[in-house]
Amino acid sequence: MGDLVWILLSAMVVNNFTLAMFLGLCPFMGVSGRVETALRMGLANIFVLLMTSLCAWTLETFVLVRFPFLRIIAFIVVIASLVQIVEMAIKKLSPTLFRQLGIYLPLITTNCAILGLALFQTSRGYSLVQGLFFALGAGLGLTLALVLMASIREELELHDPPAVARGMGLVLVVAGSLSMAFMGFAGMGSGA
Amino acid sequence: MSRETTPREDLLRGVWRENPVLVQMLGLCPSLAVTNSVANSLAMGLATFFVLVGSSLLVSSLRKLVPHEVRISTSILVIATFVTVADMALEALVPEIHKALGAFIALIVVNCIILGRQEAFASRRPVGRSLLDAAGTGAGFLVALVLIGGVREVVGSGSFLGVPLFGEHYQPWVVMILPPGGFLTLGFLLISLAALARRRERLAAEARRRATRGELATEGA
């Protein structure tokens, strides 16, 4: 059990997917303007990450053991179809949620955090349960980073930065400081 | 862009003026994740260059055979194939660098620069032009990566391509080769580029003003 909690915490804060491993930067830069949308994007990501973890594990255990050279192609195809299926399911089951998620859902396909999760889970040889905890941790970490960034950017709008720093430059420097704060967790648990 | 472009423009556009990383802000994940040394940046840039040129070649030669509705899925499959080739080649040729880049080689598949070029250019233009466009964009990505990697390695480890620069008393800024350094380096690079662009604009405006004043003076005389 302690092992599972550790996998979750490690993926969430110590090796935060966005701020320490640079996975999923596109949504991090793109949809971190408002806290509410950031939260929604985070939740959609958690869901897709969990589904991907499940599919990637099944595929790896039953099919890809025999064809390891097909891994990249198989994963990307599965992720793309998965996102499409999730999209259709949500549209059918809860049109309200579907409208709220809007464009963010299809965008998840090209989010490298998803493919990254599938690849890391495979290369670390996680079991099914470990993989699911890893996915949950990664998703929570993404959501945490997105919401933190969005709150900072909402504050930034009230201030007046120098003209040259407006736009992405400033956002990146802020992300750097945020990432520095997360470095405080680095090395945690390596002695355990 | 409805205007016809010349082959020269197709090639040069991506290198600097529409640089994928520094101007279009695409492909940020690899350009921050693997640029803690110049060697890693070079390997990543070259691998992406190869995948981009290969995919553009194949996608634009197949563009008349592939139905319009499935062009994106086809592009992704083509890209994934070339990434698998690049992954295996790097593993066989330079195992240390392959280890250092880790999963990021495989993640070239989801680099939006590549899919972007297939969708915007290669799937609707002839092969030659697509190759030029891919080579330009790939070179632009390589330039941006080496720029970021260069700053991070020089400041963060005091060396360039592993050769020490400052002697043994240099105290390296370790933070620059850690993850925060990636964000900070690109952030400050963008700010400096914006500052340079503003300066150039101001100088140009001044020159224009002086020219008009000169004309008025000659007319008056």
Q: Do B16 and B140 meet the contact criterion of CB atoms below 8 Å apart? A: yes
Cβ contacts of residue A35 below 8 Å, gap of 6+? Answer: A147, A150, A151, A154
| B29 at interface of A, judged by CB pairs closer than 8 A | yes
Is it the case that residue B221 has pLDDT exceeding 60? no
Tell me whether residues A72 and B83 touch, CB distance under 8 A. yes
Q: Residue B12's Cα: distance from chain center in Å?
A: 12
Q: Which of A140, A168, A143, A141 is nearest to A156 (CA)?
A: A168
Mean per-residue pLDDT, B161-182: 85
Nearest CA in chain B to A169: B187
Q: How far is A108 from chain B (nearest CA, A)?
A: 11
**Bridge partner list, B164:** B159
Q: At A188, phi and psi to the nearest 5?
A: -60, 130
Q: Is the pLDDT at A111 greater than 80, yes or no?
A: no
CA distance B135 to B44: 15
Token pair of B89, please?
A: 């080649």
The more confidently predicted of residues B128 and B170 is B128
B213 within a domain of the structure (yes/no): no
Closest CA to B190 of A21, A176, A173: A173
Q: Is the confidence at residue B138, as pLDDT, over 90?
A: yes
Tell me the shortest Cα–Cα distance from B81 to chain A, in angstroms: 7
CB contacts of A111 in chain B (<8 Å) are: 110
Q: Are B49 and B172 in contact (CB under 8 A)?
A: no
Q: Is residue B87 a part of any domain in this protein?
A: yes
Q: How many CB atoms lie within 10 A of CB B7?
A: 11
d(CA B182, CA A18): 12
B106 touches chain A (CB under 8 A): yes
State whether A116 and B107 contact (CB < 8 Å): yes
Cβ <8 Å between A180 and B175 = yes
**B2: pLDDT confidence band, cut at 50, 70 and 90?**
very low
Of A3-17, B59-73, B134-148, B169-183, highest mean pLDDT: B134-148
Q: B109, B175, B177: which to substitute to probe chain A, counting the most A Cβ within 10 Å?
A: B109
* Cα A164 from Cα B203, distance rounded (Å): 16
B85–chain A Cβ distance below 8 A for any pair: no
Q: What's the structural domain count of chain B? A: 1
Beta strands in chain B (DSSP E): 159-160, 163-164
Q: Could you tell me if residue B196 is inside a domain?
A: no
Burial A131-157 (b: 16+ CB within 10 A, else e): bbbbbbbbbbbbbbbbbbbbebbeeee
Binning pLDDT at 50, 70 and 90, where does residue A190 land? Answer: low
B219 lies in some domain: no
Please state, rounded to an integer, the average pLDDT across all residues of chain B: 88
Amino acid at position A62, single letter:
F
Question: Is A22 in Cβ contact with B103 (below 8 Å)?
Answer: no
- Establish if B201 belongs to a structural domain: no
pLDDT, mean of residues B77-104: 90
| Size of chain B in residues | 221
Q: In angstroms, rounded to a whole number, what is the distance separating the alpha carbons of residues A69 and B13? A: 35
- B33 touches A at CB < 8 Å: yes
Please give the residue range of the domain that contains residue B87.
9-161+174-187
Does residue B37 fall inside a structural domain?
A: yes
Are the Cβ atoms of A112 and B191 closer than 8 angstroms? no
* Confidence tier at B84 by pLDDT (50, 70, 90): very high
**CA dist., res. A4 & res. A6, Å (int):** 5
Candidate from A26, A70, A165 with C-beta closest to B28:
A26
CA A49, CA A83: separation in Å to the nearest integer?
A: 10
